[in-house]
Structure 1
Amino acid sequence: MAATGRDAPAQSATADREIVISRVISAPRELVFEAFTEVRHLSRWWGPEGFTTTTRAFEFRVGGAWDFVMHGPDGTDYQEWITWTEIAPPQRIALLHGESHDDPNAFESVLTFAPDGAATRIEMRTVFPTKELRDEAVEKYHAIEGGRQTLGNLAAYVAEIVQKGVED
């Protein structure tokens, strides 16, 4: 008997435009959420390995923006702009990310923070306007590996905070 639509595995209508990256971080979700939402934390861990970040403006509220430059290890500067479209502490953040506030190729990301025992499972689901833009991000900018490294940097940064708390 053939599978019907209801019995077939569900596939997102945006699957060919998505990148989904997740990681379990050994810290309470309130702390992981805070590290993702306060500029004093973000500037310490944001970006793939070898990158640093300079913030020009930061306002964490729906409609607010984070205007920043990512500095690559090869000296290349990447102009970046994030505007927050949904904030539901401590479980969810939605945002629009591009090179500027009017970037026609900006992509949407939804981050979820779920308790996983004493740890937190963070999932970053990014949807690009087109399959071609998603493929370019993966091939030219190594978006999947860069996303994994970014969440790895977050995990290491939060582990430092937890360790300092234990030492105090």
Structure 2
Amino acid sequence: MDRRELIIERTVAVKRELAWLGWTKPEHIVHWWGPGNFTATVYEMDVRPGGIWRYSLAPVDGKGDEAYCKATYCEVSEPYRLYYIDSFTDRDWNVAEGSEMPTIIAFEEIAGGTKLTITTRFQEVKQLESAEAMGMIEGYKETLTRLENHFI
């Protein structure tokens, strides 16, 4: 079988309940979501099965395009697991064809913090390879560092 999943694991020095709040409350996520050179704007965040999270990421320096995204929550098991389908959209929130990325965030309480496991599934191998080439792994690493720093 072709590898179509990107799995990022990271332990953050934040209690699981805070990590969960960071991931599910707009007043927190706007401070850390995205790589360090981007700002996040949350337009809607309804964390429940069937709920929608609409957000954008924009380069801090204003150079480059703003990315619009919409996630639909499939499973919300507080404070253990989030499962949503994340997608790129246009400015009117129309999902870009073929951009759907099922994503699972697992929150495991461990000594000294929370182990986060992010699993993102791609429809095709070439989409995974493209995401890796554009820096998705590094972006997630920066994002999780920002999450940790937000609560420290």
Using structure 1 for the length normalisation, give the TM-score: 0.81
Q: CA deviation at 1:75?
A: 3.9
Q: What do residues 119-139 of structure 1 show as CA deviations (whole Å, max 9, x unaligned)?
A: 111111111111011111111
1:63 alignment partner AA:
G
Cα shift readout 1:69-116 (whole Å, capped 9, x = no counterpart): 100243420111111111001010011111136433211111100011
User: For each residue in 1:31-86, what CA deviation from the matched residue of structure 2 results, as whole angstroms up to 9, or x when unmatched?
Assistant: 11111000110111100111001122221111111111100243420111111111
Which of 70, 79, 89 is matched with 1:90 structurally? 79
Match of 2:18 among 31, 46, 70: 31
Q: Residue 45 of structure 1: SS of its match in structure 2?
A: coil
How far apart, in 2, do the equivalents of 1:22 and 1:33 lie?
Answer: 15
Among 146, 155, 167, the alignment partner of 2:139 is 146
| Structure with greater strand percent | 2
Unaligned runs of 5+ in 2: none
The percentage of aligned residue pairs carrying the same residue is 25
SS of match in other structure, 2:53: strand
Using the alignment, how far apart are the partners of 1:35 and 1:153 within structure 2? Answer: 10
Runs of 5+ consecutive residues of structure 1 not aligned to the other structure: 1-12, 160-168
Runs of 4 or more above 4 Å deviation: none
Q: Over alpha carbons, which structure has the higher Rg?
A: 1
State the distance in 2 between where 1:72 and 1:21 align: 23
Match of 2:36 among 21, 35, 49: 49
Normalized against structure 2, the TM-score is what?
0.89
Q: Higher helix proportion, which one?
A: 1
